[in-house]
Structure 1
Amino acid sequence: MTGRLLLVCRLLARDLRRRRVETALLLLAISAATATLTLGLTLNDALAKPYERTRAATAGPDVVAMPGATGPAALAALAPLATAPGVTAHSGPYPVGYLMLTARGRAVQAVVQGRDDSPATLDRPAVTGGTWVRPGGVVVEHAFAAALDMRIGDTVSIDRHPLRVVGTAVTAARAVYPRADWRADAGSPLTESAGLVWVDRGEIAALAGARPLSYALNLRYADPHVGTSFTHKREDGIEYTSWTGIAEANGRLVTGARLALLVGSWLLTALAVVGVANIVAGRVADQRRRVGLLKAVGAGPAMVAAVHLAEHLVVGLAAAGTGLAAGWLAAPALTDPGAGLLGATGTPPPGLRAVVAGTALALAIAAAATLAPVLRAATTDTVHALADAATPPRRRGWRVWLSRRMPTALLIGVRVNARRPRRARLVMVNTLITTTGLAALLMGLRQDRQVGLGGAELANPRDARTIQAMLLVIGVLCVLGLVNAIVSTWTAVLDARHPLAVARTLGATPAQVTMGMAVAQLLPATLGVAVGVPAGIGLYLVVSAGEQRYAPVSWLLAMACAVLLAVAALAAVPALSAARRPVADVLRSTPA
Structure 2
Amino acid sequence: MAGRLLLVWRLLVRSLRRHRTENVLLLVAITAATATLTLGLTLNELVNRPYERTRSATAGPDLVVEPAFTGPQARDALTPLTTLPGVTDHSGPYPLAFLALTARDTTVRVVVEGRDDTPAAVDRPAVTDGTWTRPGGVVVERAFADALHLHTGDTVSVNGHPLHVTGFAVTAARPAYPRPGWHFPGSITTEGGGLVWVDRRDIATLAGDQPLSYTLNLRLTDPRTGIAAVDPAGGGIGSDARFHGWRFRTGPQIAEVNSMLNGPARQALLIGSWLLTALAVTGVAGIVAGRAIGQRRRVGLLKAVGAGPAMIATIHLAEYLVIGLAAAGTGLAAGWLAAPALFRPAAGLIGSVGVHPPPPRMVVAAVALALGIAVTATLGSVVRAATTSTVHALADAATPPRRRRWAIWLSRRLPTALLIGVRINARRPRRARLITVNTLITTTAIAVVLMALAQDRAPLKLGYSELPDVRDERTTQAMLLLVGVVCVLALLNTAVSTWTAVLDTRHPLAVARALGATPGQAGLGLATAQLLPAIPGVVGGILVGLVTYFAGDDNRFAPASWMLSAAFGVLLAVVALTAIPALAAARRPVADTLRSAAT
Instruction: Give the TM-score, by structure 1 length.
Output: 0.89
Q: What residue number does 1:417 align with? A: 425
| SS of corresponding position for 1:320 | helix
Partner of 2:489: 480
The aligned counterpart of 1:203 is 202
**2:529 maps to 1:517:** no
Change (3 A) 1:13 1:532: same
CA positional deviation for 1:529: 0.9
Q: What letter is aligned with 1:145?
A: A
Instruction: Tell me which of 527, 532, 535 is aligned to 1:526.
Output: 535
My pick for the range that moved more, 559-568 or 122-131, is 122-131
CA offset digits 1:503-543 (Å, max 9, x no partner): 4455544444333323221221011111122323444556x
Structure 2, unaligned stretches of length 5 or more? 237-242
Match of 2:302 among 294, 298, 301: 294
CA contact (8 A) 1:284 1:373 kept: yes
Q: CA offset at residue 103 of structure 1?
A: 1.1
Verify the 8 A CA contact 1:132 1:166 in the aligned structure 2.
Answer: yes
Q: How does 1:27-38 map to 2 (within 5 A)?
A: 27-38=27-38
Task: Say what the alpha-carbon RMSD is for the aligned residues.
Answer: 3.1
Q: Which string of whole-angstrom CA distances, capped at 9 and with x for unpartnered residues, describes residues 128-154 of structure 1? A: 232222221111112211222212211
Tell me the matched-pair count: 588
Q: Contact 1:38–1:350 at 8 Å: present in 2 too?
A: no
What secondary structure sits across from 1:187 in the alignment?
A: coil
* Alignment pair present for 1:492 and 2:501: yes
Residues 339-418 of structure 1 mapped to structure 2, 5 A cutoff: 339-342=347-350, 344=352, 347-418=355-426
Q: 1:304 to 1:61 in 2, by over 3 A?
A: closer
Return the letter of the residue paired with 2:425: N
Conserved 8 A contact 1:434-1:481: yes
Tell whether the 8 Å contact from 1:320 to 1:359 is kept in structure 2 after alignment.
Answer: yes
Q: Distance in 1 between matches of 2:171 and 2:358?
A: 27
**Structure 2 CA distance for partners of 1:258 and 1:353, relative to 1, 3 Å:** farther
Partner of 2:215 in structure 1? Answer: 216
- Sort the Cα spacing of 1:173 and 1:415 in 2 relative to 1 into closer, same or farther, 3 A: same
Is 1:312–1:366's contact at 8 Å kept on the other side of the alignment? yes
Match of 1:116 in 2: 116
C-alpha distance in 2, partners of 1:394/1:55?
Answer: 65
Q: Which amino acid aligns with 2:335?
A: G
CA distance in 1 between partners of 2:95 and 2:284 (Å): 62
Cα separation, 1, equivalents of 2:456 and 2:228: 37
2:47–2:346 contact (8 Å) kept in structure 1: no
Structure 1 distance, partners of 2:362, 2:548, is: 26
Q: Specify the SS of the correspondent of 1:172.
A: coil
What is the alpha-carbon distance in structure 2 between the residues aligned to residue 49 and residue 372 of structure 1?
38
Please name the residue that 2:569 is paired with.
Answer: 562
SS across alignment from 2:337: helix
Among candidates 263, 274, 279, match of residue 287 of structure 2: 279
Q: Secondary structure at the match of 2:579?
A: helix
With 483-492 and 472-481 compared, the bigger mean Cα shift is at 472-481
Deviates more, 1:451-460 or 1:7-16: 451-460
Judged with a 3 Å threshold, the aligned counterparts in structure 2 of structure 1 residues 118 and 379 are, in CA distance, closer, same or farther, namely: closer
SS at match of 1:481: helix
Deviation at 1:427, TM superposition (A): 1.0
Q: Distance in 2 between matches of 1:96 and 1:164?
A: 19
Change (3 A) 1:346 1:411: closer
Contact residue 138 and residue 167 of structure 1 kept, 8 A: yes
TM-fit CA distance, 1:13:
0.7
Kept after mapping to 1: 8 A contact 2:28/2:327: yes
Shift in CA distance, 534/571, structure 1 to aligned 2, threshold 3 Å: same
- Cα distance, 1:440 vs. partner? 3.0
Partner Cα distance (2:328, 2:396) in 1: 33
Which residue in the other structure is 2:580 paired with? 573
CA distance in 1, matches of 2:88, 2:306: 81
One-letter amino acid of the structure 2 residue matched with residue 191 of structure 1: T
1:496-507 equivalence runs, <5 A: 496-507=505-516
Q: Deviations over 1:402-426 (max 9, x none)?
A: 2233333332221111111111111
Superposition TM-score, scaled by structure 2 size = 0.88
Q: Given that residues 37 and 358 in structure 1 are in contact (C-alpha distance below 8 angstroms), is that contact kept between their aligned partners in structure 2? A: yes
| Structure 2: distance between partners of 1:88 and 1:590 | 79
Q: Deviations over 1:49-91 (max 9, x none)?
A: 5434443443433322223333455446546545556445444
Question: What is the DSSP-based 3-state SS (H/G/I as helix, E as strand, rest coil) of the residue aligned with 1:339?
Answer: coil
Amino acid at match of 1:496: T
Aligned to 1:21: 21
1:263 partner amino acid: I
Task: Measure how far apart 1:304 and its partner are.
Answer: 2.1
Name the counterpart of 1:147. Answer: 147
Match of 1:263 in 2: 271
Residue of structure 2 equivalent to 1:329: 337
* In structure 1, distance between residues paired with 2:47 and 2:498: 42
Q: Separation in 2 of the partners of 1:344 and 1:350?
A: 10
Over residues 422-452 of structure 1, what are the superposed CA-to-partner deviations in whole Å (9 max), with x where a residue is unaligned? 1111111111122222223334444585533
Moved more, 10-19 or 404-413: 404-413
% of aligned pairs identical? 66
Q: Is the 8 A contact 2:87 2:219 kept in 1?
A: yes
Q: 1:44-193, aligned counterparts within 5 Å?
A: 44=44, 50-71=50-71, 74-75=74-75, 78=78, 81-82=81-82, 86-183=86-183, 185-193=184-192
Contact 2:90/2:217 (8 A) holds in 1 = yes
